[in-house]
Chains A and B, each alone.
Chain A
Amino acid sequence: MALLVQVLGVLAAGAVIVVLLREAAQRPIAAPLAAGLAALAAVWGMSAFGSDAWSFARGLVDVRGDNASLPPEAIRGAGGTKFPAREDILKIVDDRIPKQDSVFLVCRDPACGGGLNVWITFRLAPRIFTEAPRAADWLLLYNASLADARLRRSDLVDPVVIADRYEIARLR
């Protein structure tokens, strides 16, 4: 409804402009009306550019210095801050698991129901994540226990406990 009102309002405004300019008497109304509306669009554009572009660009310039000086871990973990992801853990996992290996992720963190699991698979790309442990080279326990993974300790090779409930290991 609001869009309809806008269209009618624009048409009425254009018609008023044409009548005021006395163009309607000399020429068919469509061309000058369309021209008037296009001119209105151009004025809209210039006004929008004048009011929005400056403040937008200034905002970008203001934050550039802060962004340019961010440490690498803040840049790498930027997308995970909203969950929040444990970048300290993921950094260690990233360093330990070869990039060409596949990983089976077990996450019992409450945030894994809201996208944290998705972030972990992106953060550790290009490693391929599998749906089952038997298809993976590695197991990653993220805020989870081995029981959550339905695996036994004997299934693991050289497990590395990074923190309590955070662990990686090669799978037999």
Chain B
Amino acid sequence: MRAALGPALAHLLLLAAGFGVLWVAGVLREPTPRRMLAAAGLAYLAGVAVVMVVLIALVVIGVPLSLGLFVAVGVLAALPALAGLRRRAAWEPPRVREGLRGLDLEGRVVAGLVMAMVLFGLVGLWTVGVLPLNEFDAWQLWTRKAVMLFYEPHLQEQLFTSRVAYPNMQPDYPLLLPMLEAVQFRAGGRPDTQEAHATTWILFAAAVWALAYLASRTSRPFVWAGVSAGVAALLAPQAISGYADVTVAAFVGLGTLATGLWLEGGRRSDLALAAIMLGGAAATKNEGLVGAAIVFAVAIVAAAVERRRADALAAAAAGVLTLLVAVVPWRLWMSAHDVTGTLSLSDGLSPAYLVDRFDRVWPSVEALTSQLVALPAARIIVALGIAIAIVRLRSLPRLAGFYLAVAVLYFVSLVWAYWISPLGLQFHIATSVSRVVLGLVFLAVVATVHLGERRGATVTGS
């Protein structure tokens, strides 16, 4: 009984925590059942990002991980949502029948598509939780740490420092996904490794849901529903792998979209949401940390170029806060215990080292671009995203420039990672390129929904 109910309750607590986080951030200040349902995917991701980052920080300073600690942090994060629920409108049942009756043809197509996506998500949830965990990186990099955190309330130093006993374990990878899996295991009372697939599937489903919700603010229903459906279908095979790549791509993509919305509308709630999503990205994988740094840096430059000093300072403050909360605790623990990663930053910035390995650059560029057109998950959406950003450069220069700059710099960061990696290039590319490009795919998707067809009147200026 506990094995089935416990994990479900843990995920529901994360959802509730996310609603509290969104209320505090100002994203969902006047909740109604309809709005809460629409924002549930975003709320879940926000809950995961904030609760896991807090748990990581607590464990790093020596607080023992326990189910009670998770519940306490989750309930604390959820409490602010009660303020929104005091309003009478929050309890009025949604008028589903009237709403459906008033739909035009586009609305009916979208409603049908949304229903199909919900069904797809439920079928996935029902089936992936019993897949045996046999993907190498899934158990080696992520679930291994989760199992340890299930049995042990503290981080086991030897696991992260012994390169002989634990080779190629990427000890420097952040702990968001292992912590989430560990919490799920603790809630279920056993380390059920099959459930690792359910964890990444729920994160994926929430990401598609969140994409549709955020995209619905800028694009017409046909576009946000259609593009979200494409993302759902084409990233699903990677989402059941138990890897963190879809999760980090989603966090980076959604954080970039929220930053784009802030650049356009100036709402602080969008910047807060961006910080939460990018904090989640930075706490998931090193690519997420680099992606978050790029998004904030480009946002600061975009604001500074237009002499919007207050906005540049706000973006800088959000970036620093995100770094302090989501990255610094884990990095301090690593530093205190001499944990090092595969990639060396000092090597990566050394001109002699870079020149010596310059022959790795072009094969890396070729491998990444060929994945962007060959990978089923990418297909034509990357080309569409680039084309739309180019088309919008004159009419929406700030926004289009922002998306293009983030995508180009993210691409360059991936090339740089291959350039400085001590691993054999062919091996490194063959084992990772189909996954690391997902961040670029998500960036193309969010550029498409933000810069393409605009909801309401055509926007002609930035």
Contact = CB atoms under 8 A, between A and B. Distances in A.
**A-B complex is real:** yes
Interface of A: 1-3, 6-7, 9-11, 14, 27-28, 30-35, 37-49, 51-53, 56-57, 60-61, 63-64, 67-68, 70, 74-76, 78-79, 81-82, 99, 102, 105, 115, 117-119, 121-122, 125-126, 128-131
Contacts, number: 224
6 contacts: A11-B391, A34-B388, A37-B384, A37-B391, A37-B452, A125-B144
Contacts of B222: 39, 42
Interface range for B: 35 or more
Interface stretch (B230-238, B254-262, B268-276, B347-355): B230-238
B387 A79 contact: no
Given A53-B236, A82-B134, A126 B147 contact: yes
A68 B194 CA distance: 10
Contact of A38 (B131, B194, B453): B453
Most buried by A among B148, B394, B448: B448
A43 B235 CA distance: 17
Nearest to B119: A57
A11 B139 contact: no
Contacts of B126: 64
Contacts of A119: 139
B310 to A, nearest CB: 29
Q: Which 9 A-B pairs have the closest CB atoms?
A: A38-B452, A45-B230, A42-B226, A78-B132, A6-B383, A49-B229, A126-B151, A60-B127, A129-B165
Contacts of B152: 126
B226 to A, nearest CB: 3
Interface in B95-152: 113, 116-117, 120, 123-124, 126-128, 130-136, 139-140, 143-144, 147-148, 150-152
B116 A49 contact: yes
Given A34-B453, A38-B448, A75-B132, A122 B226 contact: no
Given A60-B127, A118-B166, A41 B234 contact: no
B395 interface: yes
Contacts of B385: 41
A39 B151 CA distance: 50
Contacts of A40: 384
Interface string B377-403: 001111111111011101100000000
Contacts of B237: 56
Contacts of A27: 458
Given A11-B387, A45-B226, 7 more contacts: A10-B384, A41-B448, A42-B223, A49-B232, A56-B233, A68-B130, A129-B162
